[in-house]
Amino acid sequence: MGQGIGQHDLLPGDGLGGNVLTSVELKRRGIAAIEQALRQGPVRLIKRNQAAGVVLSEQHYRQLQLQASRAPAAAPSSLHWLLSLPQAPSPRSKAAIDAELAAERDW
């Protein structure tokens, strides 16, 4: 497995280690190559010496789905917060805003 793939082609800390399957090997051996590699965990698919994808076992995929469903919802972004604020009752002119700012800064 992983013919022609160097350690520099793998992402550090991704947990996949050397469990790779090249497109050449996949074409030659088919699904049997994937099944064999999955025995050691997720498999990185390599095409032209570049990471092309990852294959997970059904069990691992379901675990990831369960973890994602239990994850807390992301906090709204600043943009969403600003857009959720009520609109001003009447728009102010640039001159009115400039006058208010000048009065606030008049020390």
- On average, the pLDDT of the chain sits at 83
Does the pLDDT at position 13 exceed 60? Answer: no
3-state secondary structure of 14: coil
3-state DSSP assignment of residue 47 = strand
Query: Which structural domain range is residue 42 located in?
Result: 7-64
Radius of gyration of the chain (CA): 27
Res. 4: pLDDT tops 50 = no
pLDDT tens digits, one per residue of 16-26: 557 899 999 99
In a domain, 73, yes or no: no
**DSSP 3-state of 31:** helix
- Tell me if residue 45 falls in helix, strand or coil: strand
Question: Considering the domain boundaries, does residue 103 fall inside one?
Answer: no
The pLDDT > 70 percentage for the chain reads 83
Domain presence at residue 53: yes
Number of domains in the chain: 1
This model's pTM is above 0.75: no
Name the more confident of 64 and 3: 64
